[in-house]
Amino acid sequence: MIPYGAGRPLLTPVDREGARRGSRLRRLGLGERADFSFDSFDAFADRVAEVTATPFSMVNFIDENRQFFAGLHTPAGIRTGADLGAAAAAGSSRSIRRLARDHGYCPHVLVRRKALVLEDVCDYPRFAGNPVVDGIGIRSYLGAPLIDRTGIALGTVCAVDTVPRPWGRAGLDTIKLLAGELVGHLDRREIFHG
């Protein structure tokens, strides 16, 4: 258990694959680097947001130390200091595309290796105290792991909203389909560009 805030525990899952995943991400050129090209991942995040009708969506790679938003979609016109996405979309430092490993719900998806649907994060004590609830205003989450052809979960694709959402089975199927599509793209990219 990792303490967070005034007496609120934040339970972040233990990630036993972090070092192996970090090595794989670096080999694939998918980690945080100065020459990283965000274009195709941002376009994919835009598509996820469109398909799920959400204000935020991400393609998130997670190494041993942090989360890295390779793809990021944010609502237009939001420019608050706590809005991680708006700061990144506004063209500020690439470091804005980082998030601590104990923030958000993607680390849970990664370790579980299963999609996660949270229609209202406040309905789940384990997730309600997460820093993204107060810091970004996240109230609902839909995410699936990106498990590549070697069996390593590289990261996640997710959609989030600032209001509760009745995702249901359709939402779960949609995010899993989108994750599978992106994994196929990553596998082809590695095969053809080695």
Position 101 scores a pLDDT of: 76
Hunting for tokens 């209001």 — which residue is that?
163
Among 138, 139, 140, 142, smallest CA distance to 170 is for: 142
Q: How many CB atoms lie within 10 A of CB 182?
A: 24
d(CA 25, CA 126): 29
d(CA 67, CA 2): 17
Domains of the chain: 2-193 (3.30.450.40)
Tens digits of per-residue pLDDT, 123-148?
A: 988 787 766 777 677 889 999 999 99
**Residue 146 dihedral angles phi and psi, to the nearest 5°:** -105, 90
d(CA 168, CA 21): 30
Establish how many alpha carbons lie within 13 A of residue 127's alpha carbon, considering only the half-sphere containing its beta carbon.
21
Average pLDDT of the residues of the chain: 80
Position 177 scores a pLDDT of: 98
For the segment 43-71, the average pLDDT, to the nearest whole number, is 91
pLDDT band at residue 113, thresholds of 50, 70 and 90? very high
Is the pTM above the cut of 0.85? Answer: no
Among 118, 122, 133, smallest CA distance to 172 is for: 118
